[in-house]
Amino acid sequence: MKHYDKLIFVSESDTSTSPMAEAILQREFYLEDILISSKGLVVLFPEPINPKAEAVLVSHSLSMKHHVSEQLTADDFDDRTLVLTMDQAQMAQLLKDHENARNVFTLASYIRADKDIQDPYGGTLADYNRMYEELEQYVLRLSKILSLEENRLGQEPAQEILPVQEGVG
């Protein structure tokens, strides 16, 4: 029995950090039995991924060119869905906006890292690449944790059994 059926990465507008995290985890969980998506806290209208974010993904042999931003809704929460925000402020806003929210963490707290992922909105391509490098480390650690949780269902949380890696936690 799986711990989660769905994982939703949440960012402010679902045009940069959360779709990038989705792309990285989909690469790691290719054909796995978990639905991975991304949503935004404030999506006034559907938008494509930020061009700088897409350029960085392409430079790492990934793409989200068909991605269209989606609003996070109350229907997105249930016992089998893990929701990971990019930072503390987003998590606080999500919990304020959605009384039914459950299984909500920051990505950093879920993997026991010290700092949140910061959106380089308005920054250079180099800023987006630096964010990607950090995000990739976090998502790779998340992938290991999710796999361990799957294999150890009913035992102690996997976060407790993974050593904290230099620069990630």
Query: Could you tell me which residue, 9 or 164, shows the higher pLDDT?
Result: 9
Domain for residue 20, yes or no?
Answer: yes
Q: What total number of domains does the chain contain? A: 1
Domain around 52 = 6-160
Contact between 104 and 83 (Cβ < 8 Å):
yes
Residue 142 lies in a domain: yes
| Confidence bin at 27 (pLDDT 50/70/90) | very high
Q: Is residue 91 part of a domain?
A: yes
Phi, psi for 119 (deg, rounded to 5): -75, 125
The answer to whether residue 131 is domain-embedded is: yes
Closest CA to 88 of 37, 52, 145, 41: 41
Q: What is the mean pLDDT of residues 7-30?
A: 96
Structure tokens at 158: 């996997």
Q: Are 102 and 95 in contact (CB under 8 A)?
A: no
Would you say residue 48 has pLDDT above 60?
Answer: yes
Confidence grade of residue 154 (pLDDT, cut at 50, 70, 90)? low
- pLDDT band at 33; cut points 50, 70, 90: confident
In a domain, 111, yes or no: yes
> 37 Cβ partners below 8 Å, 6+ apart?
6, 7, 8, 9, 22, 70
Determine, yes or no, domain membership for 167.
Answer: no
pLDDT surpassing 80 at residue 30:
no
- In angstroms, how far is CA 160 from the centroid of its own chain? 20
pTM equals: 0.89
134-144 per-position pLDDT tens digit: 999 999 999 99
Is 165 inside any structural domain?
no
CATH number at residue 85: 3.40.50.2300
Cα–Cα dist 3/59, whole Å: 33
CA atoms within 13 A on the CB side of 90: 28
Percent of all residues in the chain with a pLDDT value above 90, rounded to a whole number: 80
Task: Specify the pLDDT at position 82.
Answer: 98
Question: In this predicted model, what pLDDT tens digit does every residue of 83-100 receive, in sequence order?
Answer: 999 999 999 999 999 999
For residue 1, tell me if it sits in a domain: no
Q: How many other C-beta atoms lie within 10 A of the C-beta of residue 137? A: 17
The pLDDT confidence band at residue 152, using thresholds 50, 70 and 90, is confident
Question: Could you say which DSSP state residue 75 is in?
Answer: G
> Can you tell me which residue has the tokens 């620069």?
167
